[in-house]
Amino acid sequence: MPLSGIFQNLLTWAAKNERPLGAALFAFGFCIDFFTFGVLPIGLVNYFFIGYLTLAAVSCLGSHIFIHHHDSTSWWKKTLSVVFPLGAQYAFGGLLSGFLVFYTAHSVVAVSWPFLIVLALVFIGNEYFRMYKQFLVFQTTLFFFSLYAYTIFGVPLILGSLGPLVFVWSTLAAIVLFTLFLLALRYLNTARYKENRTRILQACAAVLIAVSGSYAFGVIPPIPLVMKDSGMYQSLAKIQGGYRVEGEVPREWWDLRTPVVHHVPNTYVYAYSAIAAPVKFGSTVVHRWERYDAEENDWITVSKVAFPITGGRAEGYRGYSERNTLPEGKWRVSVETANGQVIGRIRFDIETVSVKPPLIEKTL
């Protein structure tokens, strides 16, 4: 069989199996990035995100143009009608897996759960919104969500800081870029765009409100900051090049119980954290000491200690806070930005003793 015949058969098969192929490419992009993004430098990851967004934009626009060419007699139109939707699926799989890695690694699990729900909804939507009218709305909304999630990560990298004003700039950047995308969408297929414009704008407005509300309530983690190391110690001394600390023997990795800190009254306990940030990135980190009040069934803030950090150190910028008044019970130190975004948490239980337990020394 000549190569042209093989190609035609392959193209016909791909067109008939576009849905399972799209799901497979989505999963492939998801898996590849899930296992690689966590070890890549943040600057390189930024280029990957830009590449994925570019591929997603081109593929969405191409799908918009060639939506009715599956049965075209022109081989190149038929080819593009199959390739563009598959390209979009792969790009969105890569984007969402990258966001999952970053939003999970840069936050506590309780902060990341909304993105797991989003991923589940994307898989469902990928199967459900395949009809002509609904799928354009879903695909375009997904692109806006991906673009917004990226600007929340990318704009702080450019400006070298975090905070409400930086988030506003991230939002404006997403809106401007998405407006350009919509203008291209209208130009390339005006009739289809006008037919779906209202639903697209309504869906994207809902995404805008949901993401902005998530930021206001502290759900969105403070990317690109990440807590590389943390711990509770009974002694801490600053030495050249780091800290010398003494702490209790750590439990085995499989022991998931909350660590216990044995505290002698009126002696200090130290909370240590190392926060990694990009080069030339500056921010303020807050250690919020919190005690669980069983009667109130809530965490009560006991004290806050703030200190500035700068980026560039692979192991993270090191800092600590201390307390010597620690009643028995459940405690945690929330490591946050100045405006309350949670970078990580150190959980521990306090037990009062009269003599210090055996301690081990190490250098941080």
Query: CA 347, CA 329: separation in Å to the nearest integer?
Result: 11
The answer on pLDDT for 13 being more than 60 is no
Same domain, 236 and 355: yes
The answer on pLDDT for 194 being more than 70 is yes
- The answer to whether residue 87 is domain-embedded is yes
Q: Are 280 and 312 in contact (CB under 8 A)?
A: yes
* Each residue's pLDDT tens digit, 14-39: 555 556 665 666 666 666 666 666 66
- The answer to whether residue 15 is domain-embedded is yes
pLDDT at 235: 93
Q: Are 15 and 78 in contact (CB under 8 A)?
A: yes
Higher pLDDT residue, 255 or 293? Answer: 293
What are the residue ranges of helices labelled H in the chain? 3-16, 18-36, 42-65, 75-105, 109-128, 132-159, 164-188, 190-216
pLDDT band at 64 (very low <50, low <70, confident <90, very high): confident
Lowest mean pLDDT among 29-38, 136-145, 256-265, 280-289: 29-38
pLDDT at 126: 54
- The answer to whether residue 330 is domain-embedded is yes
Same domain, 178 and 302: no
Same domain, 142 and 248: no
Same domain, 139 and 252: no
| Structural domains counted in the chain | 2
Same domain, 178 and 276: no
The answer on pLDDT for 111 being more than 80 is no
Structure tokens at 32: 């590849």
- The answer to whether residue 55 is domain-embedded is yes
Q: What is the layout of strands, in order, in the sheet containing 282-293?
A: 260-263, 342-352, 329-337, 282-293, 298-310
pLDDT at 306: 93
Residue of 102, 117, 85 lying closest to 33 (CA atoms): 102
Same domain, 168 and 248: no
pLDDT band at 119 (very low <50, low <70, confident <90, very high): low
- Span 157-169, mean pLDDT? 89
Same domain, 94 and 154: yes
The answer on pLDDT for 267 being more than 70 is yes
Lowest mean pLDDT among 80-89, 125-134, 162-171, 266-275: 125-134
- Span 105-131, mean pLDDT? 59
* Each residue's pLDDT tens digit, 66-91: 665 555 556 566 666 667 777 777 78
- The answer to whether residue 358 is domain-embedded is yes
Q: Supply the DSSP symbol for 249.
A: P
* Each residue's pLDDT tens digit, 251-265: 887 888 899 999 999
Same domain, 106 and 126: yes
> What whole-number percentage of the chain has pLDDT above 70?
74
Q: Are 154 and 46 in contact (CB under 8 A)?
A: yes
CB burial readout 242-267, b (16+ within 10 A) else e:
ebebbbbeeeeeeeeeeeebbbeeee
Same domain, 289 and 199: no
Same domain, 70 and 188: yes
**Helical axes 75-105 vs 109-128, angle rounded to 10°:** 160
CATH number at residue 325: 2.60.40.10
The answer on pLDDT for 12 being more than 80 is no
Structure tokens at 166: 């930086």
- The parent domain of residue 102 ranges over 3-216
pLDDT at 61: 85
Same domain, 56 and 199: yes
pLDDT band at 322 (very low <50, low <70, confident <90, very high): very high
* Domain stop point among 191, 216, 241: 216
* Domain stop point among 216, 251, 279: 216
Residue of 245, 255, 324, 317 lying closest to 282 (CA atoms): 317
The answer on pLDDT for 246 being more than 60 is yes
The answer on pLDDT for 132 being more than 70 is no
Count other Cβ atoms within 10 Å, centred on residue 27. 15
pTM to 2 decimals?
A: 0.79
pLDDT at 257: 86
Largest CA distance in the chain: 87
* Each residue's pLDDT tens digit, 52-63: 899 999 988 887
**The residue type at 49:** F
Higher pLDDT residue, 112 or 153? Answer: 153
The answer on pLDDT for 1 being more than 50 is no
- The answer to whether residue 201 is domain-embedded is yes
* Domain stop point among 187, 216, 245: 216
pLDDT band at 162 (very low <50, low <70, confident <90, very high): confident
pLDDT at 131: 46
Same domain, 197 and 232: no
* Each residue's pLDDT tens digit, 195-222: 888 999 999 999 899 888 888 877 777 8
> What whole-number percentage of the chain has pLDDT above 90?
33
